[in-house]
Amino acid sequence: MSQRQTALLVTEIGQHLSKATRPIPEPKDGEVLVKITVAGLNPHDAKSRDDGLSIKGSLPAVLASDITGHVVRVGPNVTHFKQGDHIFGQALLAITRPPGYTDAELATLPTNLVTAAVALFDSTGLNIPSPLDTTALKFNYEEASILIVGGGSNTGRFAIQLAAITGIGKIIVVASLNGEADLKALGATHVIDRTNPGTHIAADVKSIVGDDSIYALDTINAPEDQYIGVEALSNTKTGKFARLRPRGPVDESKLSAKKPLGFETLNILGASNVRTATSVPLWERVSGLVAEGKIKPTSFKVIKGLDLDKANMTLDGYSNGALSGQWQVHI
């Protein structure tokens, strides 16, 4: 008889999680079975529970793709891991965990770091030549600039750090001013008050980079407010606008004027197993980047144990805007 485990499961889209037992799976070809120590919940997990994001068609489903844990069984054809390895990763892609940080700190990285990397470097994102790719083209990073709307979010913080590693000369961030010192320590060169109106933000960006802003990433706004990043893009070059919330078109009616040369809208998918051209080189380098202090974990809050009510309350909080950041289940 197979052994069973307790899990918090989505059994029906749009309903609260429920607690149940289910069989512990046998690892298949290329898979390992991991005993989880930390599972990180992020805002997208509420979208999975409430709207079926990424899990429709595979119910019952377990949320939280940011994990740390120990390998307890190894499937056929696994060469990178052995039983007992202490790992961290984004569910389907993991590495042996580097020293120097706790499991909880490392669990803040996977989804949000990969998402930021896809936004900056992937061909489906802003497609800025990646310094993680040894074949990087000649690119004048020092002359380049990037606008990050939502720089105070966890994804935004990783985007700032990656832009800084890349050597982008001007990293302009739209965030709360009370986080300015923090964001500058991560690499932001300019912080613009996010409570300003969009036209004011665009004017501030232009006062820093003239009409040369061609890379913008919005990590936080829904489509109705994504005009803020687009407004700041160049009027004389075709800019690129990457966004993490792709449901519906950017509301261009809110722009002060239509972009004469248009702009490219890029919908970002921060999934390691799908965006492998960007995620694999990133995962190969992540231990080194963490050890060198170039990538720093973000903050998190803790739910102790498989607490069904607290997990549902956290997801409810993401949905109604009362909560943000990462909430981790510590097991």
Ligand X SMILES: NC(=O)c1ccc[n+]([C@@H]2O[C@H](COP(=O)([O-])OP(=O)(O)OC[C@H]3O[C@@H](n4cnc5c(N)ncnc54)[C@H](OP(=O)(O)O)[C@@H]3O)[C@@H](O)[C@H]2O)c1
> Candidates 73-81, 213-221, 289-297, 309-317 — which segment interacts with ligand X by CB under 6 A?
213-221
Q: Is 221 in the site for ligand X (CB under 6 A)?
A: yes
Output 71 or 148, the one with its CB closest to ligand X. 148
Cα angle 197, 200, 205; round to 5: 125
Strands 86-90 and 93-96: antiparallel
Q: Is 328 in the site for ligand X (CB under 6 A)?
A: no
Separate counts of helices (H) and strands (E) for the chain: 9, 15
Largest pairwise CA distance in the chain: 68
Which of 111, 189, 278, 328 is close enough to bind ligand X by CB under 6 A?
A: 111
Cα angle 205, 206, 211; round to 5: 130
Binding mask 112-141 for ligand X (x = CB under 6 A): x--x--------------------------
Q: Is 220 in the site for ligand X (CB under 6 A)?
A: yes
Count of positions (residues) in the chain: 331
Query: What is the token pair recorded at 106?
Result: 């490392």
Output 96 or 124, the one with its CB closest to ligand X. 124
What are 46-54's contacts with CB under 8 Å, separation 24+? 46/315, 46/316, 46/318, 46/319, 48/10, 49/10, 49/13, 49/14, 49/15, 49/16, 49/17, 49/315, 50/13, 50/14, 50/315, 50/319, 51/13, 51/14, 52/13, 54/271
Q: Is 278 in the site for ligand X (CB under 6 A)?
A: no
In whole angstroms, how close is the CB of 310 to ligand X at the nearest point?
Answer: 17
Q: Is 154 in the site for ligand X (CB under 6 A)?
A: yes
Q: Is 297 in the site for ligand X (CB under 6 A)?
A: no
Residue nearest to ligand X (CB): 152
Which of 132, 148, 162, 268 is close enough to bind ligand X by CB under 6 A?
A: 268
Q: Is 179 in the site for ligand X (CB under 6 A)?
A: yes
**Number of residues forming the site for ligand X (CB under 6 A):** 28
* Residue 110 to residue 90: CA distance in whole angstroms: 5
Which of 270, 278, 287, 303 is close enough to bind ligand X by CB under 6 A?
A: 270
Strands 66-74 and 93-96: unpaired
Q: Is 176 in the site for ligand X (CB under 6 A)?
A: yes
**Eight-class DSSP state of 271:** -
Question: What amino acid is encoded at 22 in this protein?
Answer: R
Q: Is 194 in the site for ligand X (CB under 6 A)?
A: yes
> Candidates 56-64, 95-103, 123-131, 147-155 — which segment interacts with ligand X by CB under 6 A?
147-155
Q: Is 219 in the site for ligand X (CB under 6 A)?
A: yes
Please check whether residue 150 is in contact with residue 175, taking contact to mean a CB–CB distance below 8 angstroms: yes
- Of residues 29-88, which lie at the interface with ligand X (CB under 6 A)? 42-44, 47
- Find out whether the peptide bond into 60 is cis, omega within 30 degrees of 0: yes
CA Rg value for the chain: 20
Which of 110, 125, 150, 187 is close enough to bind ligand X by CB under 6 A?
A: 150
In whole angstroms, how close is the CB of 219 to ligand X at the nearest point?
Answer: 5
Q: Is 324 in the site for ligand X (CB under 6 A)?
A: yes
Output 32 or 128, the one with its CB closest to ligand X. 128
Q: Which of 178, 131, 73 is nearest to 278 (CA)?
A: 131
- Residues engaged in binding ligand X (CB under 6 A): 42-44, 47, 111-112, 115, 149-150, 152-155, 174-176, 179, 194, 219-221, 244-245, 268-270, 324-325
